[in-house]
Amino acid sequence: MGYHGFENPFQCNRCGEICKNAITFNLHLLEAKH
């Protein structure tokens, strides 16, 4: 199981949050408590 969503690469597969781009997606992974 990866961190990218199946249909949207900027959707977190762990919590479902949708990010705007690759930068915000990576920031989410670094800052979120999963």
The number of angstroms, rounded, from the C-alpha of 15 to the middle of its chain's C-alpha atoms is: 8
pLDDT for res 1:
60
The neighbouring-strand residues paired with 4 are 12
Token reading at 7 = 């249909």
CB 10 within 8 A of CB 3: no
Give per-residue pLDDT as tens, 1-34.
Answer: 689 988 999 999 999 999 999 999 999 999 998 8
Compute CA distances 13 → 2, 22, 27, whole Å: 7, 14, 15
